[in-house]
Amino acid sequence: MTLTVKPERHGFGATVTGFLASTADDGLIDTLRRIWLDHQVLSFPDQPMTPQDLTRFTRRFGDFGVDPFVAPLEGHDHVLEVRRESSERVIPFGGTWHSDWSFQECPPGATLLHAREVPPRGGETLFADGYRAFEALSTTLRSELEEMTALHSARRPYSPAGFLAGGGPQRSMKITPSDHANTITEHPLVRVHPETGRKALWVNRVYTIGIRGLGSQESERLLHSLCEHAVRDQFVFAHRWTRDTLCMWDNRCTQHCALGGYDGYRRVMYRTVVAGDQPKGPRGGH
């Protein structure tokens, strides 16, 4: 077995070939983890997997995370089916920039997504590099942001009102809105990665709703500016799916967005998450 690693531009993201995920041993998992920490987003093409295979492979990287508001695939408690039928006309699930479940006290460290049914056009996933986004800011602004705390909530997509506003009833996915989505969680605006020690700009358009200590208008202006900056072209690459591709990304330093462009075609993916830690900032606080 010979692993081949083909990095994307800037080294953010890489394609890894030369192994079969369903038969990976401990040594290979350790190697993949090191590659993943270096590149943040890994693509593994030609990986035919059952839900059981995906479950086993995910578990090799840690405990499972918690997926709220969305029912799991029947018979597989830790697998979500990300489905969009050919007749749907609402924005794709995950179609706005976000880091998975950043409103949780301990958001997932990793997400894995396996392509089961891929449309002939469209459906790419965009990924943005939080490390380089932070490093590209001015020294003064970086220092200011390191002192700030962001407010995260699931209310926009998953509260009863947000679910209706986003066209949720028109989706084929099994989403269960709840008033619990209005809960607010505080996280550092600049997150220190627990394994690499690098700093990442950690805000997103879906779940980051404010900044502690700032008025609503000032908070909104700053968040808009930061969210626009975080997804500038130089920090982003587009992952193009093929059937049986497995993708794994680091939620602690990236965000992503699912594109549409495939109306009239079905798209089906299976998704798992690995449990993460409570985010910490440069000053050591939560």
Domains identified in the chain and CATH numbers: 4-274 (3.60.130.10)
Cβ atoms of 184 and 209 closer than 8 Å: yes
64 — pLDDT class (breaks 50, 70, 90):
very high
Q: In percent, how much of the chain has pLDDT > 90? A: 93
Query: What SS3 state is found at 5?
Result: strand
**Model confidence, pTM:** 0.96
Token pair, residue 163, equals 């679910």
Tokens 């089961």 belong to which residue?
116
Burial of 165 (0-12, 13-18, 19+ CB in 10 A): exposed
Exposure class string for 24-46: b at 16+ Cβ within 10 A, else e: beeebeeebbeebeebbbbbbee
| Average model confidence (pLDDT) across the chain | 96
How high is the pLDDT of residue 285?
62
* Amino acid (one-letter) located at 51: P
Q: In percent, how much of the chain has pLDDT > 70? A: 99
1 — pLDDT class (breaks 50, 70, 90):
low
